[in-house]
Amino acid sequence: MSTLINPVEPFLRTDRMPHIWCPGCGIGTTVNCFARALVESKLPLDKVAVVSGIGCTGRVAGYVNLDSFHTTHGRAIPFATGLKLANPSLHVVVYSGDGDLIAIGGNHFIHAARRNVDITVICVNNFIYGMTGGQVAPTTPVGATATTAPYGCFERPFNLPFLAESSGAVYVARWTSFHVRYIAHSMVEAFQKKGFSFIEILSPCPTLYQRRNKMGDGLDTMRFYKQRSIIKNGARTQDVDINLQGDIIVGKFVDIERPTLQQSMDQQLRQTLKDRYTGWGGA
Amino acid sequence: MTLSTANPKSVLTGAHFLDGDCACGEGALAAGANFAAGYPITPSTEVVEHFASRIPTVGGVFLQMEDELASSMAIVGAAWGGAKVFTVTSGPGFSLMMEHLGYAAMTETPLVLVDVQRGGPSTGLPTLPGQADMLQARWGSHGDYEVIALCPNSPQECFNLTIDAFNLAEEYRTPVLVMMDECVGHMTEKVVIPAASDIKLFPRRYTSLSPSEYLPFRPGPDGIPEMVKAGEGYHIHVTGLTHDEHGYPAMDWHSQHKLVGRLVGKIRDHTDRIARWEERGLEDAEVVVVAYGITSRVAERAMQMARAEGLRVGLLRPVVVWPFPEKRVRELAPRIHAFVVVEMNYGQMVYEVERSAGDQARTLLLGHGGGAVHEPEEILKVIREAAA
């Protein structure tokens, strides 16, 4: 009798299962997409490193069977910047949540995009702080409630694709955890892209966001994503704001070419220093 | 562990006229540092300015980051990518780097963090000296850990001790601090840089085990695990959470005791090897002045003045301030009258002297809030009081 192995199993640290994510949570779905994207992209797995910050999505680094770094809150991108510059042969993927990447880590996000650091940033956006118990985030839609916004969020949230594009990202896409094939396809494209690529994945947090906001469970959220998502590849990112119950514009919004940080550094220093310039590793 | 020698390309062998900040930058280059990230802050900025001008011809990267949180984390990432790394800061920047001092201690990441101390608290005195970060260096990040910190008192030592800091960081797989001060950083003196072949370097503790045999946080006989870098097929996991020998999170008191106990022990148990100090005139001393950094040079002048008056005074200068040379203070205490601790703060290392001396000798503090070095005459006055 042959044993059936889930095709994503080799990509996971199965000795760490079960994972910590709640039933209905979308993070595991995105990890499944990530594993499939790794298969499809044929990246050498020994050369793929995952860097996470803190939070529910921050735990992804702990479950992928790759070189993986669970860093401090908000600082996955600076870690990834150092890792990539020190070891340019690596494919560095930052995998973290909206609170980690955009609130406490927001400054690093815009600067890494500006520099065009050659990394892929995957942001699982569940509109809430999950691990700490459901606090308001800079992504929480106006009117949604959270433990620290008990009467409704009154701050305008960030539009992440717009933020990424304005800051200099060369690849920007948004999907929901309903769009599994699109997610995997975008990840493959992002891995192949030179420069700062960004994928936002809207994902349910049934335990803390959907339940509190009377939006049902994980399955209801999938239905909501299915019904309300509109695929608009190439949409202007300033037009893709998210409202509490409104339509969700998804798709690939940005795919441009621009020299990476490493390329710009090499070019500038070589131009100025000529043969005195010694590239990384004495080259 | 077989020591290697420095790369001749990175070593400016010869006699130079350098300030302490540039000497520190040269020390980092001589030690083989090939990745630095920093954020401008007075009075430390010259270190990274100097490094930024030199490193592209040697082979390596300097990146100015968006803040001190980013620079202190970029170097941790670069270290796991295989680079030899450091960052430099002062005052408020040192406070911002505390989280990553703890992260580096927890993940056993070898790195060097230079703090050119200025007057504080808060923005304080950006261009004037202080020595009030000494306890922050030891205790500034949350949780329990040990650090190693060195304290140069001249540009020559800024060069020498920066190399030593890199070697200690590799040997103990831990962050090592170089606690300079504005005076030492900005004073210009002769700095002799030896031949590259005379600069001995402690290599990174890379494992020779295969991925199937290797556990990233299994300690060797000396309590220190071997390291790998990303991209070599080991598929390591590194976390700031309490972790087991696999590097996997382990949320229980047993794992906490095992890990944190080892992190503390790997430094504490080697205190005799790490602690280092300089002594002057202790043979017949009845009063021992304890001072470090720039203050030790003023204290030496005060000691000479006191000797000229016939007072039996010696000087004990911790070169490695953490771990503190408590054994030496304890040995001296029963045979002297008093310790006089001189520091540019309102009392920090004095606690270590008091603790180590116990009730065997009096401990007097001559401290102030920074902004200027002590006058030798004020130190002399306290020496006279201590000798009486």
Place of tokens 């095709």: A7
Within this chain, do residues B178 and B285 fall inside the same structural domain, yes or no? Answer: no
| Nearest residue in chain A measured CA to CA from B100 | A72
Residue from the list B9, B58, B80 with its beta carbon closest to the beta carbon of A69 = B80
Residues B230, A273: C-beta atoms closer than 8 Å = no
| Nearest residue in chain A measured CA to CA from B58 | A278
Interface test with B, best of A12, A56, A69, A104 (most B CBs within 10 A): A69
Residues of B in contact with A15 (CB under 8 A): 248
Let me know if residue B218 belongs to a domain. Answer: no
pLDDT tens digit sequence for A71-87 = 999 999 999 999 999 99
Residue A123 backbone dihedrals phi, psi, to 5 degrees:
-110, 110
Residue after which a domain boundary falls, among B201, B233, B258: B201
Residue from the list A16, A70, A278 with its beta carbon closest to the beta carbon of B58 = A278
pLDDT category, A279, cuts 50, 70, 90? confident
Within this chain, do residues B164 and B293 fall inside the same structural domain, yes or no? Answer: no
Residues A281, B239: C-beta atoms closer than 8 Å = no
Domain extents in chain A: 9-277
Task: Give me chain B's average pLDDT, please.
Answer: 98
Is there a contact between B374 and B342 (Cβ–Cβ < 8 Å)? yes
Average the pLDDT over A109-126 and give the result. Answer: 98
Residues of B in contact with A75 (CB under 8 A): 69-70, 73, 100
Q: Which long-range contacts (CB under 8 A, 24 or more apart) does A100-103 make?
A: A100/A52, A100/A53, A100/A54, A100/A55, A100/A57, A100/A58, A100/A73, A100/A74, A100/A76, A101/A53, A101/A74, A101/A76, A101/A77, A102/A137, A102/A138, A102/A139, A102/A158, A102/A160, A102/A163, A103/A74, A103/A137, A103/A138
Within this chain, do residues B282 and B164 fall inside the same structural domain, yes or no? Answer: no
Residues B35, A78: C-beta atoms closer than 8 Å = no
Question: A283 pLDDT exceeds 80?
Answer: no
pLDDT at A149: 97
Let me know if residue B194 belongs to a domain. Answer: yes
Within this chain, do residues B36 and B180 fall inside the same structural domain, yes or no? Answer: yes
Let me know if residue B197 belongs to a domain. Answer: yes
Interface test with A, best of B84, B85, B239, B246 (most A CBs within 10 A): B239
B233: contact with A, CB 8 A cutoff: yes
3-state secondary structure of A52: strand
Burial category of A226 from C-beta neighbours within 10 Å (exposed 0-12, middle 13-18, buried 19 and up): exposed
**Separation between Cα atoms, residue B44 and residue B51, nearest integer Å:** 12
- In the structure encoding, which two tokens stand for residue A143, read together? 């009117």
Question: A280 pLDDT exceeds 90?
Answer: no
**Separation between Cα atoms, residue A5 and residue A116, nearest integer Å:** 38
CATH number of the domain bearing residue B130: 3.40.50.970
Interface test with A, best of B10, B63, B234 (most A CBs within 10 A): B63
Residues of A in contact with B67 (CB under 8 A): 107
Q: Does A9-277 carry CATH code 3.10.20.880?
A: no
Within this chain, do residues B194 and B333 fall inside the same structural domain, yes or no? Answer: no
- In the structure encoding, which two tokens stand for residue A281, read together? 């590793």
Let me know if residue B63 belongs to a domain. Answer: yes
Strands laid side by side in the B313-318 sheet? B277-280, B313-318, B287-290, B338-343, B362-367
Let me know if residue B242 belongs to a domain. Answer: no
- In the structure encoding, which two tokens stand for residue B47, read together? 């270190």
DSSP B249: B
- With a CB cutoff of 8 Å and minimum separation 6, the contacts of A73 are A53, A54, A55, A58, A100, A104, A105
Residue after which a domain boundary falls, among B183, B201, B219: B201
pLDDT at B385: 97
pLDDT tens digit sequence for A13-56 = 999 999 999 999 999 999 999 999 999 999 999 999 999 999 99
Residues of A in contact with B74 (CB under 8 A): 78-79, 81-82, 85
Task: Give me chain A's average pLDDT, please.
Answer: 96
B230: contact with A, CB 8 A cutoff: yes
Question: A1 pLDDT exceeds 70?
Answer: no
pLDDT tens digit sequence for B331-366 = 999 999 999 999 999 999 999 999 999 999 999 999
Report the amino acid identity of residue B68: E
**Separation between Cα atoms, residue B268 and residue B250, nearest integer Å:** 24
pLDDT tens digit sequence for B144-203 = 999 999 999 999 999 999 999 999 999 999 999 999 999 999 999 999 999 999 999 999
Buried b (16+ CB within 10 A) or exposed e, A102-126: bbbbbbbbbbbbebbbbbbbbbbbb
B97: contact with A, CB 8 A cutoff: no
Report the amino acid identity of residue B259: L
Average the pLDDT over A224-243 and give the result. Answer: 97
Question: A4 pLDDT exceeds 90?
Answer: no
What whole-number percentage of chain A has pLDDT above 70? 98
Residue after which a domain boundary falls, among B167, B182, B201: B201
* A-proximal residues of B, 136-165, CB under 8 Å: none
**pTM flag (> 0.90):** yes
Q: Select the more confidently predicted residue: A66 or A281.
A: A66
* A-proximal residues of B, 64-93, CB under 8 Å: 65-67, 69-71, 73-83, 85
C-alpha to C-alpha distances, A273 to A268, A277, A278, B56, nearest whole angstrom: 8, 5, 9, 8
Residues B100, A279: C-beta atoms closer than 8 Å = no
**Separation between Cα atoms, residue A215 and residue A263, nearest integer Å:** 46
DSSP B378: H
Within this chain, do residues B190 and B310 fall inside the same structural domain, yes or no? Answer: no
CA B384 to chain A, closest CA, distance in angstroms equals: 51
**Separation between Cα atoms, residue A98 and residue A77, nearest integer Å:** 13
If you write DSSP's letter for every residue of B277-336 in order, what string do you get?
A: EEEES-TT-SEEEE--THHHHHHHHHHHHHHHTT--EEEEEESEEES--HHHHHHHGGGS
Residues A16, B248: C-beta atoms closer than 8 Å = yes
pLDDT tens digit sequence for A167-181 = 999 999 999 999 999
pLDDT tens digit sequence for A184-218 = 999 999 999 999 999 999 999 999 999 999 999 99
Report the amino acid identity of residue B369: G
- For chain B, the domain total comes to 2
What whole-number percentage of chain A has pLDDT above 90? 94
Dihedral of CA atoms B66, B70, B71, B73 in degrees, nearest 10, equals: -170
Residues of A in contact with B53 (CB under 8 A): none
CA A20 to chain B, closest CA, distance in angstroms equals: 12
Let me know if residue B264 belongs to a domain. Answer: no
> Can you give the residue range of the structural domain that contains B287?
278-387
pLDDT category, A7, cuts 50, 70, 90? confident
Residues of chain B with pLDDT under 50: none
Partners of A64 in the beta sheet? A12
- Euclidean distance between the first and final Cα of chain A, in Å? 54
Interface test with A, best of B238, B244, B246 (most A CBs within 10 A): B238
pLDDT tens digit sequence for B309-324 = 999 999 999 999 999 9
Residues B78, A89: C-beta atoms closer than 8 Å = no
pLDDT at A2: 66
DSSP A170: S
- In the structure encoding, which two tokens stand for residue A208, read together? 């803390």
The number of helices, as runs of H, and strands, as runs of E, in chain A is 8, 8
Within this chain, do residues B141 and B288 fall inside the same structural domain, yes or no? Answer: no
Interface test with B, best of A67, A81, A263 (most B CBs within 10 A): A67
- Residues constituting chain A: 283
pLDDT at B310: 97
| Nearest residue in chain B measured CA to CA from A279 | B59
pLDDT category, A282, cuts 50, 70, 90? low
**How many CB pairs below 8 A link A and B?**
153
Residues A62, B249: C-beta atoms closer than 8 Å = yes
Place of tokens 């001296």: B332
Rg (CA), chain A: 19
pLDDT at B1: 77
Is there a contact between B361 and B339 (Cβ–Cβ < 8 Å)? yes
- In the structure encoding, which two tokens stand for residue B273, read together? 């090897």
Residue from the list B35, B231, B233 with its beta carbon closest to the beta carbon of A89 = B231
Interface test with A, best of B76, B108, B232 (most A CBs within 10 A): B76
- In the structure encoding, which two tokens stand for residue B380, read together? 């002399």
Is there a contact between B243 and B266 (Cβ–Cβ < 8 Å)? no
CA B21 to chain A, closest CA, distance in angstroms equals: 23
* A-proximal residues of B, 103-132, CB under 8 Å: 103
